[in-house]
Amino acid sequence: MSTTVVKAFEEGEGGREYRVPAAQKALDILELMADQSEGLTQTEIANGLGRSIHEIYRILLLLEKRGYILRTRADRFRLSLKLFELAHRHPPVNRLVECALPVMRELAANADQSCHLVVREGQNVLVVLQIDSPLPMRYSVALGSHFPMLETSSGAVLLAHLERKERDLIVERIVAAGEGQGTRAEIDARLGEAARLGYEMRPSLAVEACTNISTPVRDHTGAVIAALTVPFIPQKAARFDRETVFKRTSAAAEKISAALGAGEAST
CA distance 211 to 202: 5
**CA-based radius of gyration for the chain:** 21
Q: In what order do the strands lie in the sheet with 211-218?
A: 146-148, 124-131, 115-121, 224-232, 211-218, 200-203
Give residue 45's identity as a one-letter amino acid code: I
Give residue 159's identity as a one-letter amino acid code: L
Q: Residue 49: which of 21, 70, 7 has the closest Cα?
A: 21
Q: What is the pLDDT along the chain (267 residues), one digit of tens a residue?
A: 444 433 443 444 444 456 678 888 888 888 888 877 778 888 999 998 999 888 888 999 999 888 888 888 778 888 887 776 666 555 567 889 999 999 999 999 999 999 999 998 888 899 999 999 999 888 888 888 888 889 999 999 999 999 999 999 889 888 888 877 788 899 999 999 999 999 999 998 888 789 999 999 999 889 999 999 999 988 888 899 999 999 999 999 999 999 998 875 444
Task: From the options 1.10.1060.10, 1.10.10.10, 3.40.50.720, 3.30.450.40, give the CATH code of 85-259.
Answer: 3.30.450.40
* Architecture, CATH, for domain 3-80: Orthogonal Bundle (1.10)
Which regions of the chain carry the CATH code 1.10.10.10?
A: 3-80
CA distance 77 to 39: 5
Decide: pTM greater than 0.75. no
Which regions of the chain carry the CATH code 3.30.450.40?
A: 85-259
Tell me, what's the pLDDT at 30? 87
Tell me, what's the pLDDT at 153? 95
- Is the separation of the CB atoms in 130 and 144 below 8 Å? no
Tell me, what's the pLDDT at 89? 58
- Is the separation of the CB atoms in 214 and 76 below 8 Å? no
CA distance 150 to 157: 9
Strand partners, 146: 126
116, burial (CB in 10 Å: exposed 0-12, middle 13-18, buried 19+): buried
CA distance 214 to 154: 6
Per-residue burial over 229-240, b = 16 or more CB atoms within 10 Å of its CB, e = otherwise: bbbbbeeeebee
Give residue 165's identity as a one-letter amino acid code: K
Other beta carbons less than 10 A from residue 251's beta carbon: 14
Determine the distance from the C-alpha atom of residue 120 to the mean position of all C-alpha atoms in its chain, rounded to a whole number.
4
Tell me, what's the pLDDT at 183? 86
